[in-house]
Structure 1
Amino acid sequence: MTESSPAYGLWSLVAINSAIFILFAASFFKPRSSRDWRTLGMFSAFIVALFAEMYGFPLTIYLLSGWLAARFPGVDFLSHDAGHLLEVMFGWRANPHFGPFHILSAILIGGGFWLLASAWKVLYAAQATGTLATTGPYARLRHPQYAAFVVIMAGFLLQWPTLITLAMFPVLVVAYVRLARREEREAEASFGADWQRYARTTPAFFPCRTKSRTHPIAGDRGEHSSGERS
């Protein structure tokens, strides 16, 4: 982690990487309503803030430079590798891209995008038939798409923590929970007892190891919407 050449001021990389991940998320999430765009917009703000520090200006390292230099002497904090602060703080001195935090980060980010794509397929089919979604990810979670965004952001935090994204993360989690609760009220108003039965046996954000089987919901054609973007 003593790479000598500075790795910041690369604003073109900020723009390119931000665009790639935002468009990637949009291709899986496929926003249509104003609520969808608000959900994607909050995620996009997090991504831009992340890459602005990763390749643009290292605000977190600048603000913590005194403490970092005293605590970890000999580390060149203007190098890209040193920006992986968790790897530095826990003593990983090899290539941080192969460190435990970076590997876990990749798993979370990849898994989050997989969950986002899987949930959209089920939700799209449910909306096409005007029913609720209890198959696929919706068999384990009522809000897999919101959960996916949170998992992806947590993965990025493990890879490149910054003060701004650390502050944004709980705010975005609360915002997603509030959006989910609002959608649940709308789903209950639309589907009544069917929704209540589904909600009683399916957790909102944290999957259970096993899901108790319920009686078939009236009008169930295998694809029921949890309320997300309904």
Structure 2
Amino acid sequence: MDELEFRRRIMSDPKAKDPELLDAAKESDNNAKYLEDVLALDARIEQAMKVEVPDDLADRILFHQPDSNVVKVKFGKRALSLAASIAFAFGLLVGQVNWGNVVVSPAQASLSDTAMEHVNNEMGFIDPLDENVSKAQINAKLLPFAYQLGQNFPYHVYYLNHCGFGESNAMHMVFQGEKGKVTLFLTGLPSDQSKTFDKDGFSGLVEPLGEASFILVGEQGEDFQKIGENIRKILNPS
């Protein structure tokens, strides 16, 4: 199990007792530290949700109407404190957790925005990797999407995995383009037509593929139309 998959599963259920997760934590100091941090944060959030209620609160509300305003003020302050605690805990979560497993809903963003969000969030983790991925490995990851490579992938592949993508899943690949590294997402989400994009320092292409789509993201100046055409030629329905 790679580190990214470990983090995703821990974020989904920090208290999981899956032997595979426990072994991954034992084998890696980084995994063990990440699990410890997430469990500590989970405990903070649980503690923030606990609000002390005065023992005589019900009596004061029912029988001491003149004091009702005082009670409401105190209760209101407690509610604000609770909200602040939760906001603080959430802020810690945003700052400490790798959000590769958190995705943007298609109702809020286009396929290109979702893809760029993934690339931006996971760049630091994936950039140093070179898994030298083979055709057989790519075809194994393509199986859930009912596509296979008809011939060898024409670019050197550094990284390959599955990931969450909006309301669907995707095959996530990083390979060498002509200008630099290019990220490909093949997802079950459909797109109406082929379109290029250029935003926030990224460029790319959204390409329909039957009932699915693939999205390319990379450096400005990359010939994504050419890359997309080369990939489409070798992707065959299985």
Identify whether the pair has TM-score above 0.5, normalized to the shorter chain. Answer: no
More helix by percentage: 1
Computing the radius of gyration over CA atoms, which structure comes out larger, 1 or 2? 2
- TM normalised by structure 1 equals 0.28
Q: Greater RCO between the two (CA within 8 Å, min separation 6)?
A: 1
